Amino acid sequence: MSHRYSQAAQPALEPEELKSWTANLVQYLVSHSSSKHPVKRSDITKDLGRLNGRDFEVVLKAAKKAMAEVLGLKLVALEQGNSKVYILLSSCGPQSLDAVPKDERKHVVLLMIVLSFILMRGGVCRETHIWKALEEMNIVKAERKVLHPYFGDVYRLVTQDYVRQLYLEYTKVVAVDPPIHDFRWGKRAELEVSQKAVVEYACEVSIP
């Protein structure tokens, strides 16, 4: 019995295996972080190979530690439906608008505008209010599919891209015809963006 117990207690991964798996997982997560789309656990095992549940958690813990200490990144696990997904956040907190890369700035500005609308509405904002406010700022037209010269496809960014990145929740209101939607802060926004930062961004906004 003691022999069986000692075998069961041994780690399934050798040190070199753990090191290799950890390096591969760190590289995988970092390479996927630029899109800001959450990474599914099923995608990790599909692309990197399958590990049993205990070994996966050991590798994940090692990768989380390495990214925090070396890269200043925080690995966060979230529940999405019936599956688990992972996102990376900066340990340094939100950046000032000047620190955001120029090619990303327009998307950050638009996101902060929308988050500020939701914040001012008490955390939930009807879709019609979002579009009306954006129209008043000349960011969208009555025909929402018209591209903005600076922001581009605002409708797609707000209803698809920010939602997929978990910055926004876009939920259908039950039992309403024609269908309407509400916006809320998404899980990434709650973790990554402070309300103070939203107010500061909104004050800095200058739309070309």
Cβ neighbours for 135, distance < 8 A, ≥ 6 positions apart? 141, 142
- What's the CATH number where 163 sits? 1.10.10.1210
Name the average pLDDT for the chain. Answer: 85
| pLDDT at residue 93 in the model | 56
Split into its structural domains, the chain has a count of: 2
Residues 50 and 126 in one domain: no
Of 62, 90, 118, the one marking the end of a domain is: 90
- Residue 27 domain boundaries: 2-90
- What's the CATH number where 16 sits? 1.10.10.1200
Residues 29 and 109 in one domain: no
Of 40, 66, 90, the one marking the end of a domain is: 90
Of 90, 119, 153, the one marking the end of a domain is: 90
Extract the tokens encoding 20. Answer: 């290799």
> Parallel, antiparallel, or unpaired for β 73-80 and 83-90?
antiparallel
Residues 82 and 127 in one domain: no
pTM comes to: 0.83
Residues 104 and 86 in one domain: no
| pLDDT at residue 3 in the model | 40
- Round to whole Å and give the CA distance between 158 and 38: 17
| 113 has pLDDT over 70 | yes
| pLDDT at residue 175 in the model | 76
Extract the tokens encoding 121. Answer: 């509405």
Residues 128 and 161 in one domain: yes
The pLDDT > 70 percentage for the chain reads 86
| 60 has pLDDT over 70 | yes
Q: Are 142 and 190 in contact (CB under 8 A)?
A: no
Residues 19 and 79 in one domain: yes
| 207 has pLDDT over 60 | no
| 9 has pLDDT over 50 | no
Residues 114 and 176 in one domain: yes
What would the pLDDT profile of 69-104 be if each residue is shown by its tens digit?
999 999 999 988 788 899 999 766 555 666 677 777
| pLDDT confidence bin for 174, thresholds 50/70/90 | confident
Query: Per mean pLDDT, which range of 63-72, 143-152, 180-189 is the poorest?
Result: 143-152
| Biggest alpha carbon–alpha carbon distance for the chain | 75
